[in-house]
Structures are given as structure tokens and as C-alpha cells.
Amino acid sequence: MADFEPKIVGFLCNWCTYAGADLAGTSRMQYPSTIRPIRVMCSGSVDSAYILRALLEGADGVLIGGCHPGDCHYVSGNYKARRRVTVLKTILKTLGLDDERVWVRWISASEGKRYADTISEMTAHLKKIGPSPARKLWSL
Amino acid sequence: MDENNKKIGAVMVVGGGIGGIQASLDLAESGFKVYLVEKNLSIGGVMAQLDKTFPTNDCSMCILSPKLVECARHRNIELLTRCEVESIEGSAGNFKIKVKKHPRFVDVSKCTGCGDCAEVCPVEVPDEYEENLANRKAIYRPFPQATPGAFGIDKSGACCECMQCEKACKAEAILHNMLEQDIELNVGSVIVFPGFDEFEPKLREEYGYGLFSNVVTSIEFERILSASGPFQGHVVRCSDKKTPKKIAWIQCVGSRDSKIERGYCSSVCCMYATKQALITKEHSPDIRTTIFYIDMRAYGKEFDRYIERAKLEYKVRYIRSRISEVKEDAKTHNLKIKYEREDGELVTEEFDMLVLSVGLDVSRSAKDLAEKLNINLNSYGFARVDSLEPLKTSRPGIFAGGVFSGPKDIPETVTSASGACALASALLSSVRGTLVAEKKYPAEKDVSGDIPRIGVFVCQCGINIGGVVNVPLVVEYAKTLPFVVYAEDNLYTCSQDTQDTIKEAIAQHSLNRVVVASCTPRTHEPLFQETIREAGLNRHLFEMANIRDQNSWVHMKQPREATEKAKDLVRMAVAKVSLKEPLGRISLKLTSRGLVIGGGLAGMVSALRLAEEGYEVYLVEKEDTLGGQAKDIYYTLKGEDVQKFLSKLIEKVTSNNKIHIFTAATIEKIEGFVGNFKTTIKLNSSLKELEHGAVIVASGANEYQPTEYLFGKDKRVVTQRKLEELIATKKLNVSNQSSIVMIQCIGSRCDENPYCSRVCCSEAIKNALALKKMNKQVNVYILYRDVRTYGFKEDWYQKAREQGVLFIRYEEDDKPEVKLNKDKLEVLVKDLILEEKLLISADLVVLSTATVPSEDNKELSQLLKVPLNEDGFFMEAHAKLRPVDFATDGIFVCGLAHSPKFIEESICQANACAARACTILSRDELEVEGIVAEVNELKCKGCRLCKEICPYGAIDVELKKVLGKEKEVARVNPALCKGCGACSASCRSGSIDLKGFSDSEILTQIGALV
Ligand code: FES
């Protein structure tokens, strides 16, 4: 398992986390190349179906990045995202999937470091728990 | 009104550097015709030569180039390159200006920029763009992104008139007998930004510049670092083209040196040297970097943090010292630098390369230009401006900024450019919109139902991407992806000529969708969207893959992984774009009114300017009175009377009938978006709703309340502001024996507030000089960490030293102590030169306290949905080129809410905010992005969940006939929808989608990825 490189799908809100990820770049902070970011307008627009789809397609982890509580550009999208993921996690468990594979993090436009750290942490964590079984389980 | 003083709705901008570019764009966007006059072949100025910019390490060309392109294609801007002002007549509102156009010998309208001419040209001469480190041809284009992109011939001795180029040019653009031309223009105002030239170090020959081959100037080093530079971004020294092991920087070359008439501080060198050392480390981590400096002047926003990073993360070595001699080892061409350490010891150390951090001289054309325009200069040859009118020259109707009015960095130059526009726009508000044209686009091609034909453009971004990612491989890979019919790589995809290439490729390969793999869509998407729109494609048939900010820059040591990731990102973008459909833009009415939050100096200035520009303004202040922090400031360093200025300003603001003032009012709620904001304020417990189109945040900051040094316990310990009040109100008597000790950096540059408060050094010196004026014999001590009197403020620092003010430096971890001995006040400080403790008895201890962010910032930032930086100040959209904008359209920031600063800087920013707001308020209607939700009425069950979830009340449910059946369906009001996608994420039947980010588009992205 040592050379297992996890694949993370990131849904990053345009206003905070995506900007934070750009800042990590301009500050040249180095982190593992495990994440494939998808820009969304708000974390509140991340449909549970996206997360499920990513896991079923074989992603080892999914990161939802939004603005800090109170900072969402659209008032309350991040609260909606948090609620939705909490519900989804119980479903994931009943499907036999690790709910630790889905992370929600609030990362602002000024937190490049926090973004880089999050990716490093998440990568390390996924390495520890190993590849997602979903692909094997569910592929027909 | 007679013909001669009829106002003209056009402005001339002189100087095509970043300042002139910003001024041109702001004016052109607020309804004025602009003539941008530049003496060289291309606009871009010095910024075009820089490799990276501090403190964000943005690639300079990458952020500049979209602005170049925007300038070139703007319908209201006429570029006049190779032009110089000859003479001016008339007065504010109506000037007649003669401009001399030097021949370029190439027809700009015919030249395609192909470069065939330069290919055949036999003459090579030193290339000034490359600081003479490389050669160019006699027919040349200064740099690939040059704007206009046409070539020009250097006939000042270079061209041999062999006519080879004429034969080679298929476009027949070459005109060897082109003549000089006189142009006469009629404008209402002139904005002058001639910029700077770097100091010529030959005047300081003791450093060996010109004698020793491995001594270079900082601007030469900038070119050495640049990927497009003479050594392709490899850090090498000139003598043997080998990578040096040890590089030294010497600061203040041509600055802070009155012997050579440059007594001022150039303000930017500490930061750019740090940047260069840091970037050097990034290129080659093994190179050891040392900076020899006098004071570390990291006075700006995020600057100190940058220095700390350089020290801790990059191990850049900083040595406080004076250089006494530089010698060359004739064999190795290494340099022996002899320097005097702070403790007086002389040390010699050998380096393989030496970079001289040269200062900023005012542009060599400035003197001549000032004479022709009849405006006054100061003793150093810079434009003479008043601290309280920092943008006005001595001649009404002519405004100035950038380095011309004093050394400045890029964001301050950009700010002063916008600020100067506000003044011109206020002067000419009655003729706004009289000389401008509408932009015309070709009809949009209907691509619905067509099979996608995708073009992919992968940017090398110099070596920013190409140095890590294998770009040709990514291009080859892109060609294999479904629907991709064309792919290529570009050195800089954002350059003007690549825009033309993209348009050509769209036509030639009948592309109906485009992907650009480069930097971040947050800065560059609008540029590329405009390009494809000009080629007849809808703006939304476009997608970007961020392979720089979120790939090559963060995986610098993993080229293989980064290349794989780039391929994945391109594949995802291609998959998404293949499903994209054209989206309409929606035109909205807007409220041409501004809201200014904060009635301090900055708030009042911006409110007044907006009113003068012709718009109504709401000015909301939480205190009972206007004035803010400026109420406690009595005079400036130069001696101008701040209180008089303030009361005049208050008088102007209160008597202007376009300004509606609400004092003792708080902001309760802010709704809406650019053009259409609705703000609720609370006024004596009743609520009031205000409608406006733009917001200016000028909410100020606070003074740090010290707890240290017996403050509050002993009356003789006061703040610097209190001292100023005592002096100004004549409540202080000083005798020959009086001893006054000032302690700097109280609450600044410490763990809680790791930033510099910027003004404290100069404020201390200002008051010290005032004390010396009261009694020449009084003893004044200033205990400091670095003296940060940047720009012309340095003159006052020198004056203070001459007058006998004693400066004693202390270290952060060995702070001075203030003690009571019986009832005598004593200050104990370690003298770093003598290496022993000094005991000073003090009649007064004065604390230079920090400027700290207002406690209301958090709440305000949440109401506005704009970010704060780590220190708690408001964070602008881009530290360099959008210094007063927020990322959210229609909201701007100025004054202390942005960061600590001087009055003149607040005034510049306040004016800049007014100019930026005017680019919105001056429009008749606002075009907004088509990113809104859309309902599939066939699928919709009318369950109302989306209606409940929508935070904007943009969704209603109505009865409608769908396929012959009456049913309840959701309906989205596009004017209210902000495109957050919350509805679509919660819709159970999957019948509501966010255009541009639809379920199918995102699901394909996911599918393409794993
Ligand atoms: S916009 Fe960032 S979470 Fe809503």
C-alpha cells in the first residue's frame, strides 16, 4: 500500500476556497498532487449526487470547500452543504462506505496555507485507510 | 459659454506604464475618450520587464498582459505610441495639445507581427528591454506581448537601410520613408504618469558596476530571472554563464544618498530585493543569498510577513551594515565585499555575484515634459504635489501620480492612477459620454445542435508552467480527446498576438468551443471570453483548466505528477465544455447612487468626489460627528494644517446637496449586487432602506491602546497622538534639560499584530522636529527597530538627525524597559553599537502605537460578503492590480479599513474608489452574467422546495400549461437569481439546473476524472 496515491475530487466554492487554493499557488506552497479541483459557485450547490458519483467512479476522497460560517457569498450555502453532507454520511455508512472519505472544510480566500495543509492531511489520511472499495463493489 | 472654455469629454494620458494603462481603462470605462501617449514602441513600462511582483510572487507579465490587451481593444482608447507632447494651450476643461509622432517605419495597421522582417535583418544591437544583456535586431518588437504588436525600425544609428525587411514583409507594412508627424488634439484634462528610470550605478562607481562583470543592477537581475529573459530564467552570472553559489544584494544604491542628489528612499528596493532572493532560491535552492541593508523597510500590507518568510523558509540572510568597498578577484571574477557591521567591526566576504538594488530616478523625460506642460517639480525633479492634494499638479486640470510624484510600488501607482481619473472625471462630468463609441461585436454564430469542435490552448506561461509541466505532451494528449480538433501551446496564451491566433484558429478550424489551460479563471476568464466573443462565439462556450496556480506552482518538484494532473484537468475541461450551451446576458437597470460606509477623511473624500462626478451619495457614519481618526492629527510632516483641511472638507461634504449624511447610524443589512444594492441602516432605533449601485468601504481603524510601559499608570507616559495634541495646543513646555523618549512599534510587528503600522516612524520624527523647533536644546530619543521613512519622508529623518534627535535601535527580543525610580521615570535600553545598557531619565515617554483593525470589520465583512486578511483588515481583490476593488463587483475599499496608511495615501485611495465606482454608476444599464438557474418544466413537480431554499426569493411557483396539461411549475426570476445553485442541489426531481454549472456538466467533469 505504500505507493498508493489517493485520488481526491474537490468541489471548491468560487469565492473562498477556490481563491484560497489560488493563493496557495501564488505563495508557492507545495502539497501532494492528489486533488482534482472542480470549481462550483458555492458549496451549497454541491449535490449529494456529485459526491456519490465521484466515490462510485473511484475517487478515494471528496473534499467540499466553502466559505467560513457567516461568510458564504450566498448567505447560507455553506450551512446547506454541511447539512447535506451530514445526511449523506449516514447513507454512505449504510452502503458500507467510509464516511471519513468525505471532508467538508471552510477555507477562506486568505487561507492558502490552510488549503495546502488540508490537502496534505487528507492525502495522508486516505493513504492510511487505503483505496476506496467503492469501485470494486459497485462496478458492473 | 464661448467656444474656448467649452469642456471636452476627452482626456490625454501621458505615459503608458501600468499607471497610464489603469488611468486609461478607468476613464474609458466611465464615458471618456482617451488618448494614451507613449514615447516607446509599446505600452507596458517597467512592469513589462519585471519577472515577479512582491509580496504575492505573481508573474508580472501574466497580470499585466490582460491589461495591455484590454487597452488595445478598448473602443474609447486611442493608443499613440512613439509620441511625445510638444506643447499645450488652453485651460482646465479645454486644452489644445500638440503631439509629435516619431516615425516607426512600419504601418501598424498592416503589420501582423509575424517577425519575418527581424529574421532577415542583418543588424544586431543591444536590446534595451533585456537591459543590454542580449541583442535585438534593428527591426524589432520590444517583447512578445508588446502592444501594439507591430514591429518598428530603430533608425537611430542601427538600421543600415539594406531593405531586406521590406522584401521579406508579405504584408507590405514597411515604410522606410515614413516621416515625423504633428498631431493636434483637443482634451478636457491631462493625466501625467511618465514613471521612472532606474538609477545609473556608474554614479556610485565604488561598487564596481561596469568594471566587474559579475556586478549587475536589480533590473538586469530581473531579466536574468525571467523565463523569457536572456538566459531563459537560469540564474547565471555574466562572466562565465555559470550558476553562482553566493549572491549578495546591496541596498540603497542611488537612494538615501544626498551626496549624489538622491536623499530620498526609493520605497520599493527592500521588498524587490527580498523577492529576488526568494525567487532565486526557488530557481536554485543551493544558491546562498545575502542582503546588505541599512533599515528593512517592509512598511506595506503583508510586507513584514513576506520578509519573515524569506528569512525562515528560504533562509535569506539579512545583514544590517554599511558597505565600504567592493573588489574583484581578477582570476575568478568573484567579488570581495568589505562591510562594516552594526557593532563597528569590519568584515570581508566573498561572493560570486553582486546585485545592486538601484533606486528609482524620476523619468528622464519628466523634466522636459514638465516644462512643456508648465507644471512644477520638487528639488529632486519629481512632480510637486501637496500631501492633502496628492494628485493635483500645480496647473489646474493636469493630474499626476505614480513614481512621477514620488517613489511608489505598483499598487500605489495603480491607486493614484484611478485617483487621478476621479479628479479628471469630476472636472468633466458635464461632458461625460459625449465622445465615446459603442462596442460592436460580430453576430453570434448559432452552434446549437452542431457537433462540438473544440480548440485547446495550453500556456507555457514562460517557465511558470512550462518549467514544471511537459506542455508539448499535454498538447499531444489534448489532441486525442473527444471532439478536440485543434490544440497548440503558447509561450503566453494571454498575450495580444495569441488572442489573434485564437481567433484565427476559431475561423480556420471552425471551432465552436475553446479550452484554455493556463492560470486561474478568477483573473483571466473574462479576457479569453472576450476573445472568443469577438470571433463570433458565445462567451460561455469556453472553459479554463487551472494548470498553474493549482498545479505547476504547487507541485514544483514533481514534474511527472504535475504533467499527469495537467492532463486530467484538461480532460475535465474538455468534457465540460463539450456540453456547454450558449448563455444570454441579461441587461439590468441600475441605481446610479453610491453608498459610502464611514465618515472619516477617506469616506468624505470619496463621497465628495462621487458627488462631483455627478452621482448622489449616502454617507453613513456610526459616530455622531464626521472626521474619524483625522480629528487627532494636527499637521503633516511637510507642515500642512490637517485640521483646517478637515473642517473645510466637512463643510464641503455637508453643504453638497448630492450627499445625504447619516450620522450615529449603523448598517443592519446589505442585500443585492452590483448596480442594485439595498442597504438597511438603523438611525435612532428606526430602520431606513437605501438603494444604491456601488459601495465604498471607508470604515477606518483604531489606535492600539497600550497596556505596556506604565501607560495609564503614570501620566508622563503618553501616546504619540497625545504628544501631538499637547504640542499643537501649546500645552507642553520644554526646557533645555527636558528629555523626551519615544518608543516605536508599540503593538506593531509583534506576535499579535505581525504587521508594520507604517506611519509611526514618520509621526515620531514629525513630532521630534516640532519639539526641536520649540527648543533646540531639548533631548529627544527615538528608540526604534527600523526607521521606515520611505520616499521623501527620508529627508525629514535626515533633518531630525542633523537637529540632534538621537536614534537608538533595539531588538524585538530585547525591548526597552520603562521604570519608576522614586518618582523619576527612567528608560533602560541596550545600545547595540556599544553593546551595553543605557539608562535615560525621561520627563515624558511617548509610545508610537499601532493602527489596529476596527472591531466592526468582522461583522461588516460578513454583511458585505467580502474577505478580511489574516490581520483583520479588508482584503482587496488583487494586491497589485486591483488595490481598491473587492472580488465582488461593485464594492470598493479605501483608507485605514484597507491597512495602516498616511493621510495622502488615504486620499489617493478614496479618489480611486470614486473612480472605480464611477465605472459602474456611469453606465445606463448593467449587463450581468447569464449564470442563473433554469427550470426544466417537463420534469418539475411544483414541490416548492427550491422556492423555500432560495435565499433571494428568486423562485416562484406558478400555474402553467406544459405540453397541454396545466400544472404547477417553478419559475426563476433571472434579475433576482444570483446563481448560487442551492436550488439545483436540493431539487429532488433534478429539474432545476444552474446554467454554466449544470448537473450534467459537473457529472461529466467527475466522470472524465476518475
Ligand atoms: S460561496 Fe463559498 S460557500 Fe457559498
Query: Quick check: B358 and B340 in contact, CB under 8 A?
Result: no
Any ligand 1 atom below 6 A from CB of A79: no
Asked whether the beta carbons of residue A50 and residue B1002 sit closer than 8 angstroms, the reply is yes
3-state DSSP assignment of residue B596: strand
User: What is the CA(A105)–ligand 1 centre distance, in A?
Assistant: 11
Q: Give the residue from chain A lying closest to B981, CA to CA.
A: A45
- pLDDT tens digits for range B446-478: 888 899 999 999 999 878 899 999 999 999 999
Average pLDDT over residues B866-887: 92
Pocket mutation for ligand 1, best pick of A73, A83, A107, A110 (most atoms within 8 Å of C-beta): A73
- pLDDT tens digits for range B505-529: 999 999 999 999 999 998 789 899 9
Q: Whose grid coordinates read 438597511?
A: B680
CA–CA distance from B832 to each of A85, B151, B252, B467, B665 (Å)? 59, 58, 22, 45, 51
- pLDDT tens digits for range B283-302: 899 999 999 999 999 999 99
B-chain residues within 8 Å CB-CB of A28?
57, 282, 553-554, 556
User: Would you identify the CATH topology of the domain B103-177?
Assistant: Alpha-Beta Plaits (3.30.70)
Query: Is A26 a domain residue?
Result: yes
Mutate which of A39, A43, A52, A139 to test chain B, going by most B C-beta atoms within 10 A? Answer: A39
Q: Give the residue from chain B lying closest to A116, CA to CA.
A: B554
A-chain residues within 8 Å CB-CB of B57?
26-28
Asked whether the beta carbons of residue A33 and residue B1005 sit closer than 8 angstroms, the reply is no
- pLDDT tens digits for range B756-781: 999 999 999 999 999 999 999 999 99
Average pLDDT over residues B794-799: 97
3-state DSSP assignment of residue B848: strand
Query: Is the per-residue pLDDT at B3 higher than 60?
Result: no
Q: What's the pLDDT score for residue A138?
A: 54
Residue of B561, B931, B1007 with shortest CB distance to A33: B561
Q: Is A27 on the interface with B (CB under 8 A)?
A: yes
- Average pLDDT of chain B is 93
3-state DSSP assignment of residue B465: coil
Is B199-360 CATH 3.50.50.60?
Answer: yes
DSSP string, B513-563: EEEEEES-HHHHHHHHHHHHHHTT--TTSEEEEE-IIIIITT-TT-HHHHH
Q: What's the pLDDT score for residue B925?
A: 86
3-state DSSP assignment of residue B214: coil
User: What is the CA(A66)–ligand 1 centre distance, in A?
Assistant: 5
Domain residues for A107?
8-138
Query: Is the per-residue pLDDT at B493 higher than 60?
Result: yes
**C-alpha torsion sign, points B14, B15, B17, B19:** negative
Q: What's the pLDDT score for residue B1010?
A: 63
| Distance to chain A for B223, nearest Cα, Å | 20
Query: Quick check: B68 and B498 in contact, CB under 8 A?
Result: no
Asked whether the beta carbons of residue B867 and residue A36 sit closer than 8 angstroms, the reply is no
Query: Is the per-residue pLDDT at B830 higher than 70?
Result: yes
| Distance to chain B for A137, nearest Cα, Å | 15
Asked whether the beta carbons of residue B522 and residue A40 sit closer than 8 angstroms, the reply is no
pTM: 0.86
Asked whether the beta carbons of residue A42 and residue B982 sit closer than 8 angstroms, the reply is yes
Main-chain phi, psi angles of B620, to 5 degrees: -110, 125
Query: Is the per-residue pLDDT at B1000 higher than 50?
Result: yes
Size of interface A-B (CB pairs under 8 A): 157
Query: Is the per-residue pLDDT at B4 higher than 60?
Result: no
User: What is the CA(A122)–ligand 1 centre distance, in A?
Assistant: 21
Query: Is the per-residue pLDDT at B553 higher than 80?
Result: yes
The CB-side HSE value for B537 (13 A sphere, CA atoms) comes to 31
The residue extents of the domains of chain B are 7-102+180-195+363-432, 103-177, 199-360, 454-577, 593-697+863-921, 703-852, 932-994
Radius of gyration of chain B (CA): 30
| Distance to chain B for A61, nearest Cα, Å | 11
CA–CA distance from B251 to each of B24, B356, B644, B668, B704 (Å)? 34, 7, 39, 50, 32
Query: Is A18 a domain residue?
Result: yes
Q: Is A83 on the interface with B (CB under 8 A)?
A: no
Q: What's the pLDDT score for residue B63?
A: 84
Calculated CA dihedral for residues B140, B142, B146, B147, nearest 10 degrees: -70
Q: Which of B508, B504, B480 is nearest to B490 (CA)?
A: B504
Strand residue runs (E) in chain A: 8-13, 35-40, 61-66, 102-106
- Among the residue ranges B16-20, B542-546, B577-581, the one predicted with the least confidence is B577-581
Q: Give the residue from chain A lying closest to B567, CA to CA.
A: A36
Q: Which of B553, B667, B574 is nearest to B618 (CA)?
A: B667
Q: What's the pLDDT score for residue B964?
A: 85
Q: How far apart are CA B49 and CA B230, in angstroms?
A: 12
Residue of A24, A45, A70 with shortest CB distance to B980: A45
Q: In B331-395, which ranges are continuous DSSP H helix?
A: 366-373
Residue of B548, B557, B994 with shortest CB distance to A45: B994
- Among the residue ranges B201-210, B566-575, B854-863, the one predicted with the least confidence is B201-210
Query: Is A19 a domain residue?
Result: yes
Query: Is A71 a domain residue?
Result: yes
Q: What's the pLDDT score for residue B311?
A: 96
Strand residue runs (E) in A76-128: 102-106
User: What is the CA(B862)–ligand 1 centre distance, in A?
Assistant: 12
Q: Which atom of ligand 1 is nearest to the CA of A17?
A: 2
Q: What's the pLDDT score for residue A136?
A: 65
Query: Is the per-residue pLDDT at B1 higher than 50?
Result: no
User: Would you identify the CATH topology of the domain B454-577?
Assistant: Rossmann fold (3.40.50)
Q: Which atom of ligand 1 is nearest to the CA of A106?
A: 3
Q: What's the pLDDT score for residue B658?
A: 97
Query: Is A3 a domain residue?
Result: no
A-chain residues within 8 Å CB-CB of B997?
40-41, 45
Fold match flag (B7-102+180-195+363-432 vs B199-360): yes
ipTM of the complex: 0.95
Taking CA B825 as the corner, what is the angle to CA B822 and CA B829, rounded to the nearest 5 degrees?
120
B-chain residues within 8 Å CB-CB of A9?
1006, 1009-1010
Asked whether the beta carbons of residue B572 and residue A38 sit closer than 8 angstroms, the reply is yes
Indicate the burial class of B715 (C-beta count within 10 angstroms; 0-12, 13-18, 19 or more): exposed
Query: Is the per-residue pLDDT at B132 higher than 80?
Result: yes
Q: Whose grid coordinates read 504635489?
A: B385
Q: Give the residue from chain B lying closest to A32, CA to CA.
A: B555
Q: What's the pLDDT score for residue B26?
A: 97
Using N-to-C axis directions, what is the helix angle for A77-94 and A48-56, rounded to 10°?
Answer: 40
CATH class, range B593-697+863-921: alpha beta
Indicate the burial class of B433 (C-beta count within 10 angstroms; 0-12, 13-18, 19 or more): middle
Q: What's the pLDDT score for residue A135?
A: 64
Q: How far apart are CA B540 and CA A40, in angstroms?
A: 15
Query: Is A32 a domain residue?
Result: yes
Domain count, chain A: 1
Mutate which of A33, A63, A64, A75 to test chain B, going by most B C-beta atoms within 10 A? Answer: A33
Asked whether the beta carbons of residue A70 and residue B862 sit closer than 8 angstroms, the reply is yes
3-state DSSP assignment of residue B274: helix
CATH architecture observed for domain B703-852: 3-Layer(bba) Sandwich (3.50)
A-chain residues within 8 Å CB-CB of B569?
36
CA–CA distance from B410 to each of B28, B417, B516, B878, B945 (Å)? 21, 10, 28, 11, 49
- pLDDT tens digits for range B343-396: 889 999 999 999 999 999 999 999 999 999 999 999 999 999 999 999 999 999
User: What is the CA(B187)–ligand 1 centre distance, in A?
Assistant: 46
| Distance to chain B for A58, nearest Cα, Å | 6
CATH class, range B932-994: alpha beta
Query: Is A2 a domain residue?
Result: no
Q: Whose grid coordinates read 507644471?
A: B375
Asked whether the beta carbons of residue B1006 and residue A50 sit closer than 8 angstroms, the reply is yes
Q: Give the residue from chain A lying closest to B63, CA to CA.
A: A26
Q: Which of B8, B182, B191, B192 is nearest to B86 (CA)?
A: B182
- pLDDT tens digits for range B705-749: 999 999 999 999 999 999 999 999 999 988 888 899 999 999 999
Mutate which of B570, B864, B991, B1002 to test chain A, going by most A C-beta atoms within 10 A? Answer: B1002
Provide the grid cell at B672.
Answer: 443585492
Structure letter (DSSP) for residue B49: G
| Distance to chain B for A95, nearest Cα, Å | 20
Taking CA B828 as the corner, what is the angle to CA B824 and CA B833, rounded to the nearest 5 degrees?
145
* Pairing relationship of beta strands B955-962 and B353-358 according to DSSP bridges: unpaired
Q: Which CATH number fits domain B7-102+180-195+363-432: 3.20.20.80, 3.40.640.10, 3.50.50.60, 3.30.10.20?
A: 3.50.50.60
Any ligand 1 atom below 6 A from CB of A64: no
Query: Quick check: B555 and A29 in contact, CB under 8 A?
Result: no
Q: What's the pLDDT score for residue A140?
A: 43
Query: Quick check: B596 and B667 in contact, CB under 8 A?
Result: no
Q: What's the pLDDT score for residue A1?
A: 47
